[in-house]
Homo-oligomer: A and B are copies of this chain.
Amino acid sequence: MFNIGVAQSGGPTVAINSSLAGVFCEAAKHSEIDKVYGFYNGIEGVLHDECVDLSEKLRTEEDVERLRCTPSTALGSCRHKLRTDNDDELRNVLETFERHNIGAFFYIGGNDSMDTVHKLSKYFKKLGKDIKVVGIPKTIDNDLVGTDHTPGFGSAAKYIASTMQEIIRDSQVYCLTSVTVVEIMGRDAGWLTAATSVLRVNGEIAPHLIYLPEVPVTKEKILEDIKKAHEKYKAVIVAVSEGIKTPDGKYLAEDNQSGAVDNFGHKYLSGVGKYLENLIKTELSCKVRSIELNVMQRCSSLIASQTDLDEAMQIGGEAVKFALDGKTGVMAVFERISDNPYEIGISCADIEKIANQEKLFPKEWINEDKNNILDDAIGYFLPLIQGEVKPFMSNGLPTHIKL
């Protein structure tokens, strides 16, 4: 009998707690697993040995349901990159795990978190330690390789598309020539921005222009596109990824940036929406508004996708089974069997092929004029946003669990 550990890492999503619930519930089914320790603030909580026996916090089925519906990371998060220039941190992790008799560790996170899974599993193997390390995918960005999609993406896409539709309603009320620029997360991968095209399935024409980081673009081209769109539509709606780039590889709004980088060397971004707002105001002299969906697109569970939350729970549970089957240094992944009827399988992939890589939006789903998404992509997106999860309400407000 052994205990298992679980932690959450990277940016919050609406589905990451559902994966945590999946790990917890699956573990309860296996007699060889005793306690499930939740480590606070990702790998930092492991380094500092800060954890909680989850059964103390999740006492009833309702507690588990409430966890599933709570957005953001209930155990906290981190953006810590494990040091490998010496073994201090890796040894520190091992000591914590041995102290708690941890036989398997599950790390729910994105690209950078899979780097941690990779390093830990390699280290434990090298020392001949029988501690399995399994990654559970999580990111609204949908940019992990080796998996059809990532838990968290469906809910973010559903929120963004629904909110975009409301912004379209809002922007069309006045009889004015106008431009509304909606800035959506996505540094290098444009999945979330592209997902606004699903509105077409219900007859919505806007957003009229969609720009992704995958396709370089100049400010002149964007202004030209807007002018052309204004010939047909008074209120032009533009969906734009935060990370759109010029042909020379620079961020379009680079002049506006601070130049600061995070621990993984990524540039801090903000403001391509504001940048375009000012540009359009100056060059086209019409009413312009820019809207940044900001953290709401990753943390709002007002319209979470039932499919996303169910799958997130399921893949958390499967990860436990993979570890019990002796797998380590792997990430649980989705394989799409068919779009319609939607069918998905879960398997696992070697973490070496996944860590520190990015899956970009396919170029073949972008139109020839490089300013919109082809209908072919909609069949991919649609199944991921089906069904709604009603939040737990109290006093007219959603309630969240705290671990």
Known A78-B174, A169-B72, A294-B291; contact A397-B201, beta-carbon cutoff 8 A: yes
Docked-complex contact B70 and A169, CB < 8 angstroms:
yes
Q: Which residues of B contact A396 (CB under 8 A)?
A: 158, 198, 305, 382, 385-387
A1 at the interface (CB under 8 A from B): no
**Top-6 shortest CB links A-B:** A72-B169, A170-B299, A302-B302, A385-B396, A77-B173, A386-B396
Minimum CB–CB distance for A82 against chain B, Å: 16
0/1 per residue, A145-175, Cβ < 8 Å to B? Answer: 0000000000000110111011101111111
Q: How far is A187 from B397 in the complex, measured between Cα atoms in Å?
A: 26
Docked-complex contact B291 and A78, CB < 8 angstroms:
no
0/1 per residue, A39-71, Cβ < 8 Å to B? Answer: 001001000000000000000000000000011
Name which of A41, A175, A299, A397 has the most chain B CB atoms within 10 A of its CB.
Answer: A397
A84 at the interface (CB under 8 A from B): no
Q: Which residues of B contact A44 (CB under 8 A)?
A: 175
A174's partner among B77, B201, B299 (CB-CB below 8 A) is B77
Pull 15 A–B residue pairs with CB atoms less than 8 Å apart, ordered by A: A12-B170, A41-B175, A44-B175, A77-B174, A78-B174, A165-B397, A165-B398, A166-B296, A170-B299, A202-B399, A289-B295, A292-B294, A296-B296, A303-B398, A385-B396
Known A165-B397, A175-B78, A397-B201; contact A295-B382, beta-carbon cutoff 8 A: no
A388 at the interface (CB under 8 A from B): yes
A301 at the interface (CB under 8 A from B): yes
Total interface residues in chain A, CB < 8 Å:
57
Docked-complex contact A73 and B397, CB < 8 angstroms:
no
Q: Which residues of B contact A73 (CB under 8 A)?
A: 173
Closest residue of B by beta carbon distance from A70: B169
This chain: copies in complex: 2
Q: Which residues of B contact A395 (CB under 8 A)?
A: 198, 201-202, 382
A267 at the interface (CB under 8 A from B): no
Closest residue of B by beta carbon distance from A277: B270
Known A174-B79, A296-B296; contact A400-B169, beta-carbon cutoff 8 A: yes
A393 at the interface (CB under 8 A from B): yes
Q: A71-B170, A167-B299, A382-B396 are in contact. List 13 more A-B contacts (CB 8 A).
A: A41-B174, A72-B166, A79-B174, A161-B397, A165-B400, A166-B398, A169-B299, A170-B295, A201-B397, A202-B399, A289-B295, A291-B295, A387-B396
A298 at the interface (CB under 8 A from B): yes
Q: How far is A76 from B176 in the complex, measured between Cα atoms in Å?
A: 11
Docked-complex contact B167 and A295, CB < 8 angstroms:
yes
Name which of A170, A386, A394 has the most chain B CB atoms within 10 A of its CB.
Answer: A170
A300's partner among B166, B385, B387 (CB-CB below 8 A) is B166
Docked-complex contact A300 and B397, CB < 8 angstroms:
no
Q: Which of A289-342 contact B (CB under 8 A)?
A: 289, 291-292, 294-296, 298-303, 305
Known A172-B76, A173-B12, A302-B162; contact A296-B167, beta-carbon cutoff 8 A: yes
Known A166-B299, A299-B167; contact A397-B173, beta-carbon cutoff 8 A: no
Known A79-B174, A169-B72, A296-B296; contact A397-B162, beta-carbon cutoff 8 A: yes
Docked-complex contact B170 and A298, CB < 8 angstroms:
yes
Q: Which residues of B contact A291 (CB under 8 A)?
A: 294-296
Minimum CB–CB distance for A315 against chain B, Å: 20
A199 at the interface (CB under 8 A from B): yes
Minimum CB–CB distance for A39 against chain B, Å: 12
